[in-house]
Chains A and B, each alone.
Chain A
Amino acid sequence: MNAISLVKTCGLTKIFTSRRGLLSRQQRQVRALDGVDLTIYRQETLGVVGESGCGKTTLGRAIMRLIHPTSGQILFEGQDIAPLNRSDFRRYRRDMQMVFQNPYSSFDPRFSMLNSMAEPLRTHTDLRGEALVKRARELLEQTGMPGEILYRYPHEFSGGQLQRIAVARALALNPKFIVLDEPTSALDVSVQAQIINLLQQLQRELKLTYLFITHDLSVVQHISDRIAVMYLGKIVELSITEAIFSDAQHPYTRALLASAPSLDPEFRRERIILKGGVPDPAAPPPGCSFHPRCPEAMEICSQAEPTFVDVGGGHMVACHLVSQT
C-alpha cells in the first residue's frame, strides 16, 4: 500500500447542542465526535463501522465540511481545512465528494439527470453547452449507465440505477477522495453487488481514496483495506481488515463481530450478547464509555478513559485490557 496520507484528522470533535425542553434554558450537549484521530492513506479504502448514533456519519460529514467541527484539525494533503471559510474551502471541494445512503433524496425530482449532472460542472469548471453534455454522458457511461438517460427524471429510475448516477456525479470533478455513507444500505443484495463492484473498479481505474461508512460488517470486510470501529463518538479499534476480523482486541469489536448473523457456519462465532443498548450520548458513562455493557469490565474502566495505543503493526486499540499489559 502506498502509505502517504491524504486526509488526517487530529482531535476532531463535534458537539451538538439542543435545548432540553421547549422553554428550558438548560442545554443538552451531545459529543457526536470526541477527539477523533484518523489518517486515511492515498488509494486505500478505510471502512468505518459502528451502530447508529456512534458518530460515523458525523465523521464523514465533518471531514466533508458539511458540518462545522467544534474543534480539531482536518488536514487534506497537509492543509488544515477546518478553519477555512466557504470561499477558501471551495477549491478543496472538487477534490472531495460524497455519496449518500438514499439515492432518492440525493436528486432533485424536478431536475433532469442532465441538470443534476451539470450542476457541479457549471459551478467548478468552464464547461458549457455541447462540451458539458458530452462530459455528463462520459461520466454516466463510466458508471455503466447509457448516455441517453440524461433527459430523464429521478422517478424513472430504480434505486440501484440512481446510486450509479450519484456515483457518476461524484466523479464529475475528478475528485481524489470520496466519502461513501452507507451507499448500498438501501439496495437489495443483487444490486448491492453491482454497486460494490463498480466502486472497486472505479477506485482502481481512477486511483480514488474512499472513506466507506457502513453498519454492514460483511460489506466492510469485502471492500476495506483498513477498518475503524466507532462507539459513542470515539474510535475504539483501528487496524487492517484481516486483523480486525481475526484478531479483534476490543471487547466491543468482538461483540459486534459475534452479533452479525453469518451465512457461513465455519465463520460463525460464539455469540456474545451484550447487555442493554447504547447509552444516551448526551450523558456518556464515565471512564471507558463501553464499560456498562462490557463483559470484561474491570474497576479501572469506570474511572479512567483508556488511551488509544498501538498494540503492534499499526493495530490501535482503546481498552484497559491491552494498555495495562
Chain B
Amino acid sequence: MNDMLLSVEDLHVRFRTYAGLVHAVNGMTFNVRQGEIFGLVGESGCGKSVTGFAVVRMVPFPGEIARGRIEFQGEDLAQKSEAEMKDIRGRRIAMIFQDPSASLNPVFSIGNQVTRVIRQHVSASRYEARQLALKMFDAVGLPDPERAFRAYPHELSGGMQQRVMIAMALSSGAELLIADEPSTALDVTIQAQILALLTRLRETQGVSILLITHDLGVVAETCDRVGVAYAGNIVEMGRVEDVLYQMKHPYTQGLLAALPRPTHRGQPLQSIKGSVPDGLRLPAGCPFHPRCPEVMDICQLEKPALVLVGPKDHVAACHLYGEGETA
C-alpha cells in the first residue's frame, strides 16, 4: 500500500546486560499510515518505548537492533548510516517525551534552544529562525509567544513546556511525530489540552503521529488505529473501534476488563493473573500463555503469527484464531 508512512517489520531489539540478553522487542510489526494517529499501547516493559527509540535508531546503550526492517517512506532506516540518520532525526521524524522539563536545558532560554534546533535542520538566519519559532509557538497555542521565547524552562508550567517541545519538534516540518507518553506527566485538564492540540496539528500541519501510551482512554479518544503490545510483540492491531470494542486477543480482553468502568461499579475488577514476563526469560511459544485464561497445548510450543480476525485489517496473534488468513 502506498499510503504507508512508516512500516516496522519483525523488529527485534535486545539489551546486553550483565544478567544476560534481555529481549525487549521480539518481532514487533506495525505500520503508521499517512496522516493518521497510531497508538502503540501496552503495560510497562512491553517494549513500546524501546520501539519508539528504535525507529529513530536511538536505542540507548547497551541495546541494539538485532534485526528487522524500519521502512520510512520506502527507505529502510535500519540500513542507514549514522550520518544519514542525523539528517532524518529531528527533521523528518521528531520525538517528544513524557517529561518535558527533562527534555529542555534549564540554563538556556526557550528561544535559544528552539532557534538552535531550527537552524540545525533548515538554513535560516537568526531572525528567520526566531520568526519561525514565534509562528510555531502561536500554532501550538502558547498564550504569549514573545514571553515564552524569552523565558527559561522553569518559568513555564508543565503543559506549556510540552507545547514548546511540540513546537520545537514540528518546526522543521517533520512528517512523523513520535510522542512517547506526551500527556502522562500532566494533569487531566492539561492532558486534554495537549491531546486536543495533537489532534489539531495532525490537520493543520499534516503530521502523522505514533502515540506511545499506557492509557487506553487516551487511545480511545485520540487514535485512528492502535496496536496492543505485550512482551515486545504486537498481539492485536486494527482500527480503534475494532480493537477496543470487538477485541479478540485474550490479553486485550483482560486489559480492558481490568479497567474500572462506570458500568461495573460495585463489582470486583477482573485482573490478569501473574505479571508481565521478564525479558531475560521469555516463555516459549506465545508470550502470554502463562497468564492466558484460554491457553491450549499449542500455545506453549508455537508463537502465533498475526492473522486477520475481522474487517478493516483487524489482526491478532493468537492460536484461537489459527485458521484465519495470515495478514
Contacts and interface: CB of A to CB of B under 8 A. Distances in A.
Interface of A: 51-52, 158, 160, 188-194, 196-197, 200-201, 215, 217-219, 221-223, 241, 245, 255-256, 258-265, 267-268, 271, 273-274, 276-278
B260 interface: yes
12 contacts: A51-B190, A193-B259, A193-B270, A197-B271, A221-B265, A222-B261, A259-B188, A260-B217, A261-B221, A262-B217, A273-B192, A277-B190
B85 interface: no
The A interface is mostly helix, strand or loop, or mixed, namely helix
Contact of A194 (B158, B188, B189, B271): B271
A189 B263 contact: no
Contact of B220 (A189, A194, A263, A271): A263
A268 B217 CA distance: 10
Contact of A271 (B192, B217, B262, B271): B192
Interface residues of B, number: 43
B265 A197 contact: no
Interface stretch (B28-36, B131-139, B250-258): B250-258
A215 B188 contact: yes
A64 B270 CA distance: 32
A263 B241 CA distance: 10
Given A193-B271, A221-B265, A263 B189 contact: no
A51 B187 contact: yes
Contacts of A192: 258
A276 B188 CA distance: 12
A273 B265 contact: no
A263 B43 contact: no
A217 B221 contact: no
Contacts of B244: 263
Contacts of B265: 221-222, 241
B59 interface: no
Nearest to A223: B260
B216 A263 contact: yes
B43 A188 contact: yes
Contacts, number: 117
A278 B187 contact: yes
A189 B188 contact: no
B192 to A, nearest CB: 4
A8 B138 CA distance: 48
B220 to A, nearest CB: 5
Contact of A264 (B222, B262, B268): B262
B134 to A, nearest CB: 20
Interface string B219-237: 0111000000000000000
B160, B187, B222 — most chain A CB neighbours (10 Å): B187
B235 to A, nearest CB: 14
B269 interface: yes
B193 A264 contact: no
A268 B259 contact: no
Contacts of A278: 157, 187
Contacts of A194: 271
Given A261-B217, A263-B217, A193 B189 contact: no
B290 to A, nearest CB: 13
Contacts of A259: 188-189, 191-192
Given A255-B189, A259-B192, 8 more contacts: A188-B44, A196-B260, A218-B262, A222-B264, A222-B265, A259-B191, A260-B217, A267-B262
Contact of A218 (B254, B260, B272): B260
B262 A260 contact: no
B262 A189 contact: no
A245 B263 CA distance: 12
B214 interface: yes
